[in-house]
Structures are given as C-alpha cells and as structure tokens.
C-alpha cells in the first residue's frame, strides 16, 4: 500500500500545526555528499559492513568498526550542512507563537547540529562521540579525531578500549532518547519524515503512532514510501523542498 495522496509543497501549511515532529534519515544528507544506508550502493548493502556494524560481533570487530567510522568521520567532517538542514534549524530557532518543533534524526553525521539545530534527538548516537568499551564510568565525550595509526584508540580515563558512540545492529537505543522521541510523537499534530523510507523500525513505529494519535503524517523523499500510515507524500530532493515548505 502507498500513502493516501501525493501532494505539492504548497498544499501543506506549517502555520496550522502546534506540535511538529520532524524525523530525518540519510536521504537528507545526500546533497551534502554523504551516501544513504539502504539505497542503491548504500552503506548497509555491503555485506562486510553489515557484519562489522553488528554489535553481536564485538569486541572481535572493534578494529574494523574503527576503520569504518574513521572513514565516516572523515566524510562528515568534509561535508557541509545543506539547505534542508539549515531550513530545519531556522524553523527550530524561530517557531511561531505556541509552536513546538522536535527534531529526531536517524543520522550520526552531526550535520543538523552544525547547521544550528541545538536540540537534536540522535536516535543512533553520533559518529563524533566516543565511549569506553570497558564501561569504566566515563561519559561519552566529543571526539572528532580520526585516531590514525592505531587499531583501537584507548580510553583517557582507564586505558581500556574506546568505541564510537553509535547504536549498532543488535543494540538497543538509548532509553532516554527513545522516551523523548515517543513522548514527542504522541503529542504531535504534524509528523514529517524526511529522507527516510519510513518502513524500517523504529521510524515505522513513529509514523504509525503519530497516525493513531490523529496527527497528519507526511513523507518527503525522492522515492515513495510503502508505509500506509502516511497521509500524504511530497516527492523530490529535501534540499529543494524543505526551504520552500518551512518558514525562513
């Protein structure tokens, strides 16, 4: 099944809604030069990457995981936020009176924050934070170093092994982040998914829950979603559509 209708960008008025949730996926960062995850040639279509990024295979794959995220960090550091990231940041900084804007992202590239979004619910963590694999008690810390020349960087607190602070396959989302996401989704009257298929959990759960609560649900992407919980979709590049949709 498909969303109920395909609409134009001018058919949606943000001013009519009070509690807005925007969920973004890898597609929003394509214009910044970053690849998607499950699209053609995407990161997770490569079988070896799927093995490396599975938490069940740690700690054996920790050196390979660092090699993978060393590359991801380097790409993200080189990339710049695009017009879609900036449009969301502007909306968050300048909401209409009584309006709340909650940004949830499946991305770990940090581009929303670099665009100026101060409050971002990063469901899968951030490639720019590291944490101690030995769980010595040190809090995850900002870390943009590529750690070149070492197989696995060491924890500055205990000397143990570090890992990227990202959620891998077979690992649970942060309970605190998930709670905040669910709370916002349950209270929203407009749910917009951008650059994501909307059919992979937990994203699919979010749109379904929003729909159950009576929110209007919109899918914005270059490809159509197969999730019938969306009321409508707007097809096209996020970097072109969001600046036209969101007040600047």
Supply the residues annotated as catalytic.
124
Mode of pairing for the β-strands spanning 190-194 and 232-235:
unpaired
| β-sheet with 232-235: strand ranges across | 5-6, 232-235, 216-221, 190-194, 19-24, 100-105, 120-122
C-beta of residue 195 within 8 angstroms of C-beta of residue 237? no
C-beta of residue 232 within 8 angstroms of C-beta of residue 6? yes
List helix spans (H) across the chain: 47-52, 62-78, 83-93, 111-115, 175-187, 203-212, 238-245
Closest of 168, 230, 222 to residue 195, by C-alpha: 222
C-beta of residue 50 within 8 angstroms of C-beta of residue 169? yes
C-beta of residue 127 within 8 angstroms of C-beta of residue 142? no
């Amino acid at each position: 099944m498909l969303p109920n209708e395909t609409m134009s960008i001018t058919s949606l008025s943000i001013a009519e809604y009070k509690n807005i949730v925007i969920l973004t996926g890898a597609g929003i960062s394509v214009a910044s030069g970053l690849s998607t995850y499950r699209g053609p040639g995407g990161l997770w279509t490569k079988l070896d990457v799927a093995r490396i990024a599975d938490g069940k295979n740690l700690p054996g794959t920790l050196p390979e995981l660092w090699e993978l995220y060393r590359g991801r960090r380097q790409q993200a550091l080189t990339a710049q936020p695009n017009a879609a990231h900036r449009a969301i940041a502007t909306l968050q900084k300048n909401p209409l009176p009584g309006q709340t804007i909650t940004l949830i992202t499946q991305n770990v590239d940090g581009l929303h924050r670099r665009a100026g979004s101060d409050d971002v619910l990063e469901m899968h963590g951030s490639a720019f934070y590291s944490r101690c694999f030995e769980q010595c008690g040190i809090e995850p810390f900002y870390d943009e170093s590529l750690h070149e020349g070492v197989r696995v960087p060491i924890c500055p607190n205990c000397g143990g092994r570090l890992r990227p602070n990202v959620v891998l396959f077979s690992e649970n989302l942060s309970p605190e982040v998930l709670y905040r996401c669910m709370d916002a989704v349950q209270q929203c009257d407009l749910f917009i998914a951008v650059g994501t298929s909307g059919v992979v959990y937990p994203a699919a759960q979010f749109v379904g829950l929003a729909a159950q609560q009576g929110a209007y649900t919109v899918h914005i992407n270059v490809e159509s979603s197969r999730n019938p919980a969306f009321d409508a979709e707007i097809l096209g590049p996020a970097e072109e559509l969001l600046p036209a949709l969101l007040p600047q």
